[in-house]
Amino acid sequence: MKLIECYNLETAYIASLNRPILNGINFHINQGEFVVLLGLNGAGKSTLLRSLLGLVPLVSGEIYVHGVQITPQTLRKVRRDIGMLFQGGGLIQQLSAIENVLCGRLGVRTTGQTLFGFPERDRILALELLEQLGLKEQIYQKTSRLSGGQQQRVAIARALIQSPQILLADEPTTGLDVVASQQVMQTLAQLNSEQGLTIITVLHDLGIAAEYAQRAIVLDAGRIVYDGKCNNLQAQFAQGFKLVETYKEYEE
């Protein structure tokens, strides 16, 4: 079942790049897939990811989620099904873990409702999510005191409290050590395999992509140059588009 469909996506022309960031993007993503977006710096990975949430204006092209085209009129409805992990987590450092998770409910509550705090069912759900993600001991700690991996799991819980069908993650392992990166990716993989959550994430590590994702979409200069399985991605880079050495230099 096609969950996301993108047709001929093109963004505004960027003089410094001498091209649009996205330049004729076509693909679809099925329900329950774990997809990774790869490419060099400036290839358009994060721009493509954000366009799926309606955060990037398009010059031309169409995006459909559950068969509903993203327009200013449908954006609020479409976003109800999508959770987003922004690069760096985007948490409020002075708030506790549970308070940050509850912020994920603000989008479905009116200003008046927010003044009276969150209902008990929201607090219970937030507690359950943090416990499921291995953060039972950190529930009431300020996020500024948590490790990078713990903060990223709080951000995942904040996205999950929206009960999304799609989870977008913009470089969720950036700034994390090897152990924390693996913990975050294992969490995403578990959500995909056990709950059927459709996950689309931007990564810059070919090894992590090959280990956890089912499908890779590789961009170069705003175009898709590879769309397929994650098997032997290093060889795909070297043989298909001769980017592997440059890619390694970018990682270093």
Q: Give the number of other Cβ atoms within 10 Å of residue 40's Cβ.
A: 17
Rg (CA), the chain: 18
Cβ partners under 8 Å of residue 9, min gap 6: 22, 24, 25, 26, 48, 51, 58, 60, 61, 62, 63
Among 112-126, 172-186, 223-237, the range of highest mean pLDDT: 172-186
41 SS3 class = coil
Which of the 8 DSSP states describes residue 29? E
Listed range (6-10, 88-92, 211-215) with the worst mean pLDDT: 88-92
Q: Is pLDDT larger for residue 182 or for residue 115?
A: 182
Q: Where are the domains of the chain?
A: 1-81+197-252
Q: How far apart are CA 228 and CA 219, in angstroms?
A: 12
* 59-93: pLDDT as tens digits: 999 999 999 999 999 999 999 899 999 887 789 99
Residue type, 49: L
DSSP alpha helix (H) spans, the chain: 45-51, 75-79, 97-102, 111-115, 120-132, 148-160, 178-195, 206-212, 233-236, 244-251
Q: What is the pLDDT of residue 90?
A: 83
Residue 34: CB partners within 8 Å, gap ≥ 6?
A: 188, 189, 192, 198, 199, 212, 213, 214, 215
Mean pLDDT of 242-246: 43
pLDDT band at 17 (very low <50, low <70, confident <90, very high): confident
* Residue 208 tokens, joined: 């992590």
Residues near 8 by Cβ (< 8 Å), separated by ≥ 6? 24, 25, 26, 60, 61, 62
* CATH fit for domain 1-81+197-252, picks 3.20.20.140, 3.40.50.300, 3.30.1360.120, 3.30.470.20: 3.40.50.300
Are 164 and 82 in contact by the 8 Å Cβ rule? The answer is yes
Give the residues across from 19 on adjacent strands: 14
The answer to whether 44 and 222 have CB atoms below 8 angstroms apart is yes
Q: How many CB atoms lie within 10 A of CB 50?
A: 16
Is the pLDDT assigned to residue 42 strictly greater than 90? Answer: no
pLDDT at 250 over 60: no
| 181-196 residues labelled b (16+ CB within 10 A) or e (exposed) | bbbbbebbbebbeeee
pLDDT 10s digits, 99-116: 999 998 876 554 444 544
Name the residue among 181, 202, 200 with its Cα closest to residue 192: 200
What does 196-229 look like in DSSP terms, one character per residue? --EEEEE-S-HHHHHHH-SEEEEEETTEEEEEEE
DSSP 70: P
